[in-house]
């Protein structure tokens, strides 16, 4: 029982940390451009009324890069780690990536708004394409494979139900943090208007 509680605490803490790392990534790429940004636990706020598409593109890319690099950095550590808590760490890191993947499969785009399109534009990819969706799908599958092999995950019904329960718990944590974050901070900070948005950008 104690080990299960420890696992859940580590999983939840790493998940929350991963969400904030994503927002810090946004902020850093804004700060470098001289744009004031406040990173909160589940959203970044641009503290100026307007921002150009090209500036916003790099801000969006910063969050994508931070999340991807976190997963890429943890995976080799996990393969070498022999600690029981390693499974909880990798599962927590994978959760945001899994949420993006789930949304991609269900809604056709891993992130709402224009964040993925902006990030793809920053690196010269088709803004309306799915390069980032496919990146996170690949990272999520790689992480799941590592958990299945290294963590010796059983494919019995009881083990599968535990995995589903963990995923649902993680999804609930993400939703609660996102909704709570917006309820607290949206009243104080207005969303910046993005200027010079290219024609034909799809919001779905």
Question: Of 162-166, 183-187, 191-195, which gets the smallest average pLDDT?
Answer: 162-166
Strands 37-40 and 43-46: antiparallel
Is the separation of the CB atoms in 163 and 153 below 8 Å?
yes
CA–CA dist 89, 86 (Å, integer): 5
pLDDT digits (tens, 9 = 90+) for 56-89: 999 999 999 999 999 999 999 998 887 778 989 9
Q: pTM value?
A: 0.91
Tell me the per-residue pLDDT of 125-178, one tens digit each, with 9 for 90 and over. 999 899 999 999 999 999 989 988 876 565 566 666 777 888 888 899 999 999
Q: Taking a C-beta distance cutoff of 8 angstroms, is the pair 88, 11 a contact?
A: yes
Q: Is the pLDDT of residue 123 over 90?
A: yes
| Cβ burial, residue 187 (10 Å; 0-12/13-18/19+) | exposed
- Residue pair 41/23 in contact by the 8 Å Cβ criterion: yes
Which residues, in sequence order, are CB contacts of 90 under 8 Å at separation 6+? 74, 75, 78, 143, 146, 147
């Amino acid at each position: 029982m104690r080990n299960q509680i420890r696992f859940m605490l580590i999983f939840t803490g790493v998940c929350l940390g991963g969400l904030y790392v994503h927002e810090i990534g946004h902020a850093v790429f804004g700060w470098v451009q001289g744009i004031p940004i406040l990173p909160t636990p589940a959203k970044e706020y641009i503290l100026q009324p307007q921002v150009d598409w090209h500036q916003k593109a790099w801000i969006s890319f910063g969050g994508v890069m931070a999340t991807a690099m976190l997963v890429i950095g943890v995976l080799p550590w996990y393969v070498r780690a022999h600690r029981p808590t390693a499974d909880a760490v990798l599962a927590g890191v994978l959760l945001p990536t899994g949420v993006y993947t789930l949304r991609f499969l269900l809604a056709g785009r891993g992130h709402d708004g224009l964040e993925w399109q902006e990030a793809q534009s920053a690196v010269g990819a088709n803004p309306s394409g799915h390069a980032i969706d496919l990146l996170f799908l690949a990272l999520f599958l790689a992480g799941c494979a590592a958990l299945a092999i290294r963590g010796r995950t059983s494919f019995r019904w009881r083990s599968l139900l535990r995995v589903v329960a963990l995923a649902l718990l993680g999804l609930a944590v993400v939703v609660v943090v996102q909704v709570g974050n917006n309820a607290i901070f949206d009243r104080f900070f207005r969303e910046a208007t993005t200027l010079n948005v290219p024609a034909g950008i799809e919001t779905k």
